[in-house]
Amino acid sequence: MNPESLPEQARRAWAVAKKDIRIYYLKGPVLIFGVFMPVFLFLAFYMGGRDLPLAFLIPGLVGMTLFFSATAVSPAIFPWEGSAKTLERLAACPISIEAIVLGDMIASALFGIGITLITVLIGVGVGLPVLHVDILFIALFLGACCFSALGTLLAVPPTNVPSNIMMLSSLLKFPLVFISGIFVPLAEMPRWGLPLAAISPLTYFCDLARYCFSGAHYFPVTLDIGLLALFAVVLSIATMYFHRKTMPRRL
């Protein structure tokens, strides 16, 4: 066994992911927050008197659910583990910082996909069939990778106070929801809004989700998939790079 090899480090990352799921994700409040938060935001817009059709709102709800659930816990794991000194335990183990980050991302992505599938079922339950199941699964996978990397990236500042990170996280997450075409169709956005939407990975996920549920889309589907994949790769590399830089200051 070569402990430095990629397969071996991937196995150890999976061990970190299982630990994260047990400790941080399989908790009642976390599961409830993951579902309730997007549902309440959705209801606010559904009952807001704007007469938006379900075929528009449900894909938005799916997008929000994936985004909020995949970024709900991951920003706080590093600060929690830093303050509990368990990060020091991981740092003394033969696992690279990149593999620790990957483990956190896997846990976050799996949690995001699991919760989002519930929302998809709700959509189907209210009479909105999934027209492109294969594309939906590709979108869910890429979106989950992308948002979990983003969530882990938010934990880069070397503080061990989770509330500091959660505040920073909220500052970024909420504006992103409003510029990503969830509640305002991209075609109806003001001219200044489109460039903002283009820099948000959530835009491409929502466009894909909309295509999966209604067949409508703003960007070409291949472009949505390509850009979502690009965001996932860039954000993953960035989060691993910056955690390598800041982790010693956290310990």
Query: Which residues contact other proteins by CB under 8 A?
Result: 1, 3-4, 8-9, 11-12, 14-16, 18-19, 22-23, 84-86, 88-96, 248, 251
Residue 81 exposed, middle or buried by CB count within 10 Å (0-12, 13-18, 19+): buried
> How near is the Cβ of 188 to other proteins at its closest, in Å?
47
Residue 58 exposed, middle or buried by CB count within 10 Å (0-12, 13-18, 19+): buried
DSSP tag of 218: S
Using the minimum distance from each CB to other proteins, give the nearer residue, 14 or 45.
14
> How near is the Cβ of 2 to other proteins at its closest, in Å?
9
> How near is the Cβ of 242 to other proteins at its closest, in Å?
16
> How near is the Cβ of 144 to other proteins at its closest, in Å?
23
Per-residue burial over 155-187, b = 16 or more CB atoms within 10 Å of its CB, e = otherwise: bbbbbbebeebbebbeeebeebbebbbbbbebe
What's the CA gap between 3 and 68, in Å, rounded? 35
* Side chain identity at residue 61, one-letter code: L
> How near is the Cβ of 247 to other proteins at its closest, in Å?
9
Using the minimum distance from each CB to other proteins, give the nearer residue, 7 or 49.
7
> How near is the Cβ of 72 to other proteins at its closest, in Å?
17
Which of these, 129, 176, 186, lies nearest to 151 by C-alpha position?
A: 176
Q: For residue 246, what are the contacts with CB-CB under 8 A and spacing of at least 6?
A: 156, 157, 158
